Amino acid sequence: MHEFNEPLITAWQLVAGADARLAGIVLLSLRVSLAATLIACVIGMPIGALLAVGRFPGRRTLIVLFNGLMGLPPVVVGLLVYLLLSRAGPLGQFGLLFSPEAMIIAQAILVTPIVAALTRQVVADSWSEYREQLRSLGASRGRAAATLLWDGRFSLSTAALAGFGRAIAEVGAVMIVGGNIDGVTRVMTTTIALETSKGDLPLALALGFILITVVLAINAVAYALRGWAERHWG
Amino acid sequence: MNTWLSIDGLSLTEGGTRIIADVSLTLGAQRTVVLGPNGAGKSTLLRLIHDLLHPSTGVLYWPRPLSQAMVFQRPVMLRTTALTNVIYGLKLKGFKTGEARRRAQESLARVGLEHLALRPARLLSGGEQQRVALARAWALEPELLILDEPTASLDPASSREVERIIGDIAASGARILMTTHNLGQARRIAEDIVFIDRGRIVEQTPVAQFFKLPQTPAAQSFLQEEMP
Ligand SMILES: Nc1ncnc2c1ncn2[C@@H]1O[C@H](COP(=O)(O)OP(=O)(O)O)[C@@H](O)[C@H]1O
Ligand SMILES: [Mg+2]
């Protein structure tokens, strides 16, 4: 019992004392995953909307593809981005490997299909409701896609938060392209993995607490936002 | 009577069934109401005329192309204010922001909703939403307004208000082409009745004559069932 309690107490002291090392890791995690989610939204939401309202050859194939890519294994994304960014790779000249930027790229690739697929679902639902009215008013398909993205902004924030939840919790991609360098590319998940394997449980546990709290908070925010939007805009 | 639309041999086949079957029709009255039993093809005919559906065969001949707007049975409101919903239609037609806003406000005032202009449109009552839809259509100053059972899901008071607005829109010069389940409403609004059944035009008759003495047995039995 003593064996189990002691790391817990130390972990709590780390969190409560706002330990500088801990804070650095948490902030880097948030920065990387927020940036990745932002990029994924900028790319994934228009793709999702066009998949929902567009009419072009290969649309169905793309829908199946994006739905499938939602389950992309992070380590495979990490490996691909590693190959792209490594010195001999096509983007090697930029020297991004083992930097936070590399981690942002990897997580953005991981999250974009999630955002695109969830966006497509939301937009497709309202497209079936709005289609005739928008066409009657003379909206082109592109304009309709933009309108539906705006109209679905609250539901879509849930898609963004789902993407962020996936990014902040994944370990495989950032481990490979970030290299888990102390003070540079060490984020919550990679630190947990490393410290646990070294037997340093307090730091791992403290980060585990924070990670779970962040994920729960994201869901609470998503839930509250939807409820507010439903009451406020119908 | 100035013909504004001639329809010749119009058919629509969907999955093997003919929803509209060889319809030929000349529309010239300012206010025409399409009547017919459920599933007769009224909504489909209006959608073909509004170019939301493409006919399998046949042609629509417009002596002069008319600007159109359509109001649907269930109003479709964007998640924004009533005013912005009206502005949205005007912007799609190319109006600049200031002018669009001015016209939208005027249009909402004409349907008696200026006091609700800044309310979220989707939280308005069904009748109020339908009036926003009418304002959105009217703001475009269409030469032809098409309405598909605009009062079907409304309470009697809201229905009367919507009917009053349709009358005002007609008085402002727009042609009206609509369907309704409410025969009293058809009688009050229409000059001409087009009666359709199973995708075919059964008769086209001036309104007074239609309600006094329909030309066909199908229309006679329809009136008997609807007005016992
Ligand atoms: N897309 C479609 N595919 C197959 N059948 C349809 C479709 N749209 C309408 N119908 C059928 O066509 C008939 C006419 O429909 P509609 O025009 O809505 O009738 P009304 O408005 O007179 O009640 C109905 O039997 C309906 O089930
Ligand atoms: Mg109908």
3-state secondary structure of B204: strand
Taking the Cβ of residue B203 and every Cβ of chain A, the question of whether any pair is shorter than 8 Å is answered with no
Query: Is residue B166 a contact partner of residue B150, using CB atoms and an 8 Å limit?
Result: yes
**Tokens matching residue A88:** 């001999």
Q: Which residues of B touch A229 (CB under 8 A)?
A: 79
B190 is a domain residue: yes
A99 is a domain residue: yes
What is the rounded CA–CA span in Å between residue A207 and residue A194?
A: 12
Band of pLDDT at residue B228, cut at 50, 70 and 90:
low
Mean pLDDT rounded to a whole number for chain B: 96
What is the pLDDT, as a whole number, of residue B1?
66
3-state secondary structure of A218: helix
**Tokens matching residue B64:** 């002069």
Can you list the residues of chain A whose pLDDT is less than 70? 1-3
Band of pLDDT at residue B28, cut at 50, 70 and 90:
very high
B61 is a domain residue: yes
A5 is a domain residue: no
Beta strand B192-197 with B31-35: parallel, antiparallel or unpaired?
parallel
A228 is a domain residue: yes
Ligand 1 atom with least separation from CA of B199: 14
Closest CA to B140 of B107, B109, B116, B165: B107
Which residue's C-alpha comes closest to atom 14 of ligand 1? B41
Query: Is residue B119 a contact partner of residue B141, using CB atoms and an 8 Å limit?
Result: no
Q: Given strand B57-61, what is the order of strands in its sheet?
A: B17-27, B5-14, B57-61
Query: Is residue B8 a contact partner of residue B59, using CB atoms and an 8 Å limit?
Result: yes
What is the rounded CA–CA span in Å between residue B39 and residue B18?
A: 12
What is the rounded CA–CA span in Å between residue B39 and residue B44?
A: 9
What is the rounded CA–CA span in Å between residue B228 and residue B222?
A: 10
Contacts (Cβ under 8 Å, ≥6 apart) of A223: none
Taking the Cβ of residue B224 and every Cβ of chain A, the question of whether any pair is shorter than 8 Å is answered with no
Residue A132 sits in a domain whose CATH number is 1.10.3720.10
Over residues B167-209, the pLDDT tens digits come to: 999 999 999 999 999 999 999 999 999 999 999 999 999 999 9
A4 is a domain residue: no
Cα-to-centroid distance, A172 and ligand 1 (Å): 53
Residue A33: C-alpha distances to residues A84, A105, A166, A216 (Å) = 20, 10, 9, 16
B98 is a domain residue: no
A71 is a domain residue: yes
Task: List beta partners, residue B14.
Answer: B17
B166 is a domain residue: no
Domain ranges, residue A211: 21-233
What is the rounded CA–CA span in Å between residue B158 and residue B133?
A: 13
What is the pLDDT, as a whole number, of residue A8?
81
The terminus-to-terminus CA distance of chain A in angstroms comes to 53
**Tokens matching residue B199:** 């995708």
Query: Is residue A98 a contact partner of residue A184, using CB atoms and an 8 Å limit?
Result: yes
Ligand 1 atom with least separation from CA of B149: 21
Query: Is residue B107 a contact partner of residue B73, using CB atoms and an 8 Å limit?
Result: no
Pocket of ligand 1 contains residue B180 by CB under 6 Å: no
Over residues B54-96, the pLDDT tens digits come to: 999 999 999 999 999 999 999 999 999 999 999 999 999 999 9
What is the pLDDT, as a whole number, of residue A19?
86
Burial environment of residue B137 by CB neighbours within 10 A (0 to 12, 13 to 18, 19 or more): buried
Higher pLDDT among residues B14 and A7, named by residue = B14
User: Considering its fold, how many domains does chain A have in total?
Assistant: 1
Q: φ and ψ at B15, to 5 degrees? A: 55, 40
User: Which residues have a beta carbon within 5 Å of ligand 2, which is an ion?
Assistant: B 43
A6 is a domain residue: no
B113 is a domain residue: no
Cα-to-centroid distance, A5 and ligand 2 (Å): 70
Cα-to-centroid distance, B39 and ligand 1 (Å): 6
B107 is a domain residue: no
Contacts (Cβ under 8 Å, ≥6 apart) of A177: A78, A81, A82, A85, A97, A98, A102, A103, A105, A106
Which residue's C-alpha comes closest to atom 20 of ligand 1? B39
Q: Do B78 and A147 touch (CB under 8 A)?
A: yes
Residue B208 sits in a domain whose CATH number is 3.40.50.300
Question: Which value does ipTM take for this structure?
Answer: 0.94
Domain ranges, residue B50: 1-66+179-228
Query: Is residue A122 a contact partner of residue A155, using CB atoms and an 8 Å limit?
Result: yes
What is the pLDDT, as a whole number, of residue A3?
67
What is the rounded CA–CA span in Å between residue A109 and residue A111?
A: 6
Pocket of ligand 1 contains residue B52 by CB under 6 Å: no
Contacts (Cβ under 8 Å, ≥6 apart) of B45: B10, B20, B23, B34, B196
* Chain A residue with the nearest C-alpha to that of B49: A136
Query: Is residue A145 a contact partner of residue A116, using CB atoms and an 8 Å limit?
Result: no
A46 is a domain residue: yes
- Per-position b or e across B97-120, b if 16+ CB within 10 A of its CB: eeebbebbbebbebbebbebbeeb
What is the rounded CA–CA span in Å between residue A201 and residue A166?
A: 24
Pocket of ligand 1 contains residue B75 by CB under 6 Å: no
Taking the Cβ of residue B47 and every Cβ of chain A, the question of whether any pair is shorter than 8 Å is answered with yes
Closest CA to A38 of A123, A106, A121, A104: A104
User: Considering its fold, how many domains does chain B have in total?
Assistant: 1
What is the rounded CA–CA span in Å between residue B145 and residue B178?
A: 8
A16 is a domain residue: no
B118 is a domain residue: no
Among A5-19, B22-36, B114-128, B150-164, the minimum mean pLDDT is found in A5-19
Pocket mutation for ligand 1, best pick of B12, B38, B42, B44 (most atoms within 8 Å of C-beta) = B44
What is the rounded CA–CA span in Å between residue B49 and residue B43?
A: 10
